[in-house]
Amino acid sequence: MTSHYEKSVEELQLEYANKRRFPFIKFSQSLESEFREYRHQRLLERIPAIGVAALFIFFLFALLDIYTLPESVYVVTTCIRLFIVCPLIAITMIAARMNWSIRAYSSLYMSAYIVSGLSIVAIMYTTRINDAQMPYDGVLLLLVFGYFLMGSPYTLATLGGVIVSLGYFTLELNLNSPSHIISSNAAFIITLNFMGAIGSYMQERSRRSLFLNKKLVELAKSRDQQEISSRTRLLATASHDLRQPLHAMNLLIETLENQLPKGDSLALTQKLKLAINQLSQLLSSLLNISRLNAGIVEAKNTNFDLSSLIGSLIPEQNIRAEELGMTIRTEGPSPCIVKSDPILVERIFRNLCENAFKHADATGVKVNWYKEGKTIFLEVEDNGKGIPEEEMESIFDEFHQTDQSDKQGMGLGLAIVKQLSELLEVKYGVRAGKHKGACFWLELAQAYSLEKPINNAPAQVPRPSPDKRILLIDDDQSVLDSCQILLANWGYSVAAVKNPYDALSCSESEIFDLIICDYRFPAYPQNGIELILEMRKRAATATPAILITADTQQEVSEEVSQSFVEQDLNITGIAFKPLAPAKLKLMIQHYLQAKN
């Protein structure tokens, strides 16, 4: 899909500057100001290294003066080096740490360079008038240092080099040096200035090119972030709006199935129920793979008990297995603490189970976890028809289905497993099972301390309690009606309201055994989590609650985990639309028992 966007004025300026290659070493006014700040900050980062190098050179030459020059001469030369130049270098380093303005620091920096150069000229003058010889190499070294190491702007580096060079020529003329010596030295110094000016010019161009590229990369990243944010909002909105009617259809078809007598109408209803379930699974797969491909899912690792997580999911999987005439059993140590993202591990486990139910043609599924070294292995093994050897590697590809498959679904379930595993940075794979079939496995890192758990569905299912009073809150009328009908059909007494204000009013006027609340209320300041907290606060009692949402982003689960203290978290569940009626029934029974 091609992305169309309008380029910003800043981006157009950058591309124009890059294309023209800024022949006069200058950008537009706004961009030039930003570049100067960028260049200044890079210079400040280099000042410690430049300053230390300069101090080392002047200290070294001070020692050479002591060893090679007469005492009357080196007293003067070392004083110039150690008490004029070195303190000036130190002041420049201190000013860099004090973060002076660009204009003030540039003036100090170039002044220090020029003073250092003229100090070398003064040292040469001192040695000459005292009949001691000192070559002009010091001037050459300083010019090289100024052009190639100091990182000054091209114009300032050239100006500084010219001033130092003129100071040297003035010295030679005042001392009436032979013309051939002046000419020879002048050739070297002028050539060095010419080469230094060109080198400084090229450095300036490189710095400006780097700056332009950096800005373009930043703009590209910013644009990508905006596109990702836009995709996130689109997927969240699409997910929410598509899941709402599917959730209502799930609840209504369950109610209809329970009320119809055996016959053709019931058979048609059951086929419709199967089609709706398949549609729900396809929608979930498409939305999940879209979110993964868009890069908007992040792994947030924590320590959790894998055995508790699996145990909380098994009752729901048992219902699915019984519908298909299959059995599911588990085996593994408890507790089994691992470090990973429990929400993503749960998604992987659900997809592996669903893959076995839909495609394995099996009679049983075994869920096994065990420890090897510092690794915890999680396995989902079936006793079905297995996977051909040649398809073992491609089985995790998007839209892949084996030749033996009955072609249910779109081939996205295992592709999601692959992407989630790679997001978690864990190894995964498939091999032939012990009793034919296939064994899908996942490696998780062992942990040793348990952090705050994320609440899940119950591991134990109590007997139904149909005489309980439930407060149902949802701003979608179709969902509210369908859920109310289903709960009433199960024998519960239901008070159904559409907004947080009515919910607060109801909770103050009577006592409820359970709250079932939607997460989103766009027209109101509170979301479902805040509403549950407010109702518990006003009632001065912790009423069990189930938060049902069409938002599938991890942030919702994390907000639940962070909003409730551990005691309240144990009586607060979260479920995602479209929610299977069987799972809703399990959760209602569990949280009603939790109140008792």
Q: Bigger pLDDT: 281 or 410? A: 281
Q: Bigger pLDDT: 549 or 103? A: 103
CATH number, domain at 485? 3.40.50.2300
Mean pLDDT along residues 532-544: 84
Mean pLDDT along residues 84-94: 94
Q: Which of 137-146, 345-354, 451-460, 573-582 has the lowest mean pLDDT?
A: 451-460
Do 428 and 518 fall within a single domain? no
Decide if 254 is inside a domain: no
Does the global pTM surpass 0.85? Answer: no
Structure tokens at 205: 């161009």
Domain boundary (165, 194, 223) is at 223
What confidence tier does 18 reach under pLDDT thresholds 50, 70, 90?
Answer: low
**8 A C-beta contact, residue 428 and residue 417:** yes
Q: Bigger pLDDT: 536 or 31? A: 536
Query: For residues 243 and 482, what is the distance between their CA atoms, to the nearest angstrom?
Result: 14
pLDDT averaged over every residue in the chain: 81
Q: Phi and psi for 547 in degrees, rounded to 5?
A: -95, 120
Q: Which residues pair with 340 in a beta bridge?
A: 302
Per-residue pLDDT at 95 exceeds 90: yes
Decide if 277 is inside a domain: no
Do 61 and 163 fall within a single domain? yes
Q: Bigger pLDDT: 465 or 92? A: 92
What pLDDT score does 400 carry? 58
Do 396 and 541 fall within a single domain? no
**8 A C-beta contact, residue 248 and residue 482:** yes
Per-residue pLDDT at 566 exceeds 90: no
Decide if 436 is inside a domain: yes
**pLDDT by residue (tens digit) across 394-411?**
777 766 565 544 545 556
The helix-helix angle for 9-20 and 29-68 (nearest 10°) equals 50
Mean pLDDT along residues 354-375: 85
Decide if 102 is inside a domain: yes
Decide if 477 is inside a domain: yes
Do 396 and 428 fall within a single domain? yes
What pLDDT score does 481 carry? 87
Structure tokens at 565: 């203290």
Neighbours of 347 (CB within 10 A): 18
Q: Which of 551, 581, 575 is nearest to 244 (CA)?
A: 551
What confidence tier does 122 reach under pLDDT thresholds 50, 70, 90?
Answer: very high
What confidence tier does 473 reach under pLDDT thresholds 50, 70, 90?
Answer: very high
What pLDDT score does 282 carry? 63
Domain boundary (223, 249, 270) is at 223
CATH number, domain at 413? 3.30.565.10
Tally the domains of the chain.
3
Do 476 and 425 fall within a single domain? no
Going by their DSSP bridges, the two strands 302-305 and 469-473 should be labelled as unpaired
Do 408 and 486 fall within a single domain? no
Per-residue pLDDT at 60 exceeds 50: yes
**pLDDT by residue (tens digit) across 415-431?**
888 888 888 888 888 88
Long-range contacts of 506-512 (CB under 8 A, 24+ apart): 506/471, 507/471, 507/535, 507/538, 507/539, 507/543, 508/538, 508/539, 510/469, 511/469, 511/539, 511/541, 512/469, 512/470, 512/471, 512/543
**pLDDT by residue (tens digit) across 144-189?**
988 888 888 888 899 999 999 999 999 989 888 888 888 988 999 9
Amino acid at 553: Q
Mean pLDDT along residues 487-516: 88
Per-residue pLDDT at 77 exceeds 50: yes
Q: Which residues pair with 381 in a beta bridge?
A: 366, 439
Mean pLDDT along residues 259-283: 75
**pLDDT by residue (tens digit) across 179-189?**
888 898 899 99
Do 440 and 474 fall within a single domain? no
| Secondary structure class of 4 (helix, strand, coil) | coil
Do 400 and 487 fall within a single domain? no
Chain-centre distance of CA 580, in angstroms? Answer: 32
**pLDDT by residue (tens digit) across 512-528?**
889 999 888 888 888 88
**Residue 32 belongs to domain spanning:** 9-223
Do 68 and 196 fall within a single domain? yes
Decide if 357 is inside a domain: yes
What pLDDT score does 387 carry? 80
Query: For residues 493 and 150, what is the distance between their CA atoms, to the nearest angstrom?
Result: 81
Residue with tokens 């559409």: 498
Q: Which of 11-25, 104-118, 329-343, 391-405 has the lowest mean pLDDT?
A: 11-25
pLDDT > 90 fraction of the chain, expressed in percent and rounded: 16
Per-residue pLDDT at 484 exceeds 60: yes
What confidence tier does 47 reach under pLDDT thresholds 50, 70, 90?
Answer: very high
Mean pLDDT along residues 65-82: 91
Do 363 and 309 fall within a single domain? yes
Give start and end residues of each alpha helix (H) in 490-547. 500-509, 528-539
Q: Which of 13-27, 63-77, 239-253 has the lowest mean pLDDT?
A: 13-27
What is the side-by-side strand order in the sheet with 469-473?
493-497, 469-473, 514-518, 545-549, 572-576
Contacts of 539 (CB under 8 A, 6+ apart): 507, 508, 511
Domain boundary (177, 197, 223) is at 223
Do 34 and 107 fall within a single domain? yes
Q: Phi and psi for 305 in degrees, rounded to 5?
A: -90, 110
Decide if 149 is inside a domain: yes
Chain-centre distance of CA 460, in angstroms? Answer: 37
Do 414 and 518 fall within a single domain? no
What pLDDT score does 457 carry? 44
Decide if 173 is inside a domain: yes
Per-residue pLDDT at 93 exceeds 90: yes
**pLDDT by residue (tens digit) across 421-471?**
888 888 888 888 766 788 888 888 888 766 544 444 444 444 445 578 899
Per-residue pLDDT at 236 exceeds 70: no
**pLDDT by residue (tens digit) across 192-222?**
999 999 998 888 888 888 888 888 788 878 7
